[in-house]
Structure 1
Amino acid sequence: MGSLANQTLPTIAFSSQNLEVGSSSWLSTSKQVVLALEEYGCFIATYPNFSPQLHHAIFQASKELFDLPTHVKMLNTSDTPSHGYVGQQPIVPLYEGLGIENSTTEQGVDRFTTLLWPSGNETFR
């Protein structure tokens, strides 16, 4: 059996070219993503246009979100399995997930933000 200490996660570099759906670069990159997810369950994504400031802001917002009390996070429900709050499971006690329904729309983000922060949270939004 191999040593887990010697394994490293695959790193996939994203660019404007390989994000163009249907391009040969996109097809190649999507194959790398599928392989990484099948073999490791995750990968390290790099993107040169992703500033350190944006990276920091996303992690700060994520920390603020997951630091909310559990009863508040549990308000996020969905009819679609695993799209609301997922957590507090004995088999994976450290896992939590929060799905944002319609996350690509202003209305979806507003609904999620208002649900978890009734007084508002413009920074998260």
Structure 2
Amino acid sequence: MGGEATQLPRIDFSGVDPSAPGAGPWAAVRAQVMDALTTFGCFGAHYPPLTPELRASLFDGAVRPLFSLPVETKRRNYYGPDKPFHGYLGGLPGLDAYESLAIIDGPKPEPVRAFADLMWPGGGNAGFW
């Protein structure tokens, strides 16, 4: 891609097995991701297993309610000053609409449930996890 790229890259993840990092085309796709992040800070992802129905259920049932929470609630997701990008990140000067929330060990069920309980005390949000 380099400095002359003018169009947001679209990276094909269809051959990557998320349960086997490092296998198959993983290294090549990782290199594309790193280049896109270095050049643009983002990329478009093509991942056929993520059907429109699954995408809608993820965003409508989990992501929208999560990011609709008050900022004070989202700030509970904090892992300490030694991990500044592992919790809630938002309210950045010049990036008014940017927010992110990280779940350490997110692929594991227990950290996701603990995160849901943190965001929605008193039983969490079963639709989230």
TM-score of Structure 1 vs Structure 2, range by shorter chain: 0.7 to 0.9
Structure 2 CA distance for partners of 1:123 and 1:39, relative to 1, 3 Å? same
Give the SS at the match of 2:115. Answer: helix
The alignment yields a C-alpha RMSD, in angstroms, of 2.0
Q: Could you report, residue by residue, the CA deviation over 1:85-112 in whole angstroms, capped at 9, with x for unpaired residues?
A: 1222334332222111221222211110
Alignment partner, residue 62 of structure 1: 63
> Aligned residues, how many?
118
Alignment partner, residue 126 of structure 2: 122
Match among 103, 106, 125 for residue 106 of structure 2: 103
- For 2:91 and 2:37, the matched residues in 1 are separated by 24
Q: Which has the larger radius of gyration?
A: 1
5+ residue gaps in structure 2? 1-5
Structure 2 CA distance for partners of 1:72 and 1:53, relative to 1, 3 Å? same
5+ residue gaps in structure 1? 1-6
Q: Could you report, residue by residue, the CA deviation over 1:24-71 in whole angstroms, capped at 9, with x for unpaired residues?
A: x33322222222111111111111111111111222221111100111
Match among 72, 92, 95 for residue 89 of structure 1: 92
Give the SS at the match of 1:97. Answer: strand
The TM-score with structure 2 as length reference comes to 0.79
Mapping 1:71-86, distance limit 5 Å: 71-79=72-80, 80-86=83-89
Alignment partner, residue 37 of structure 1: 37
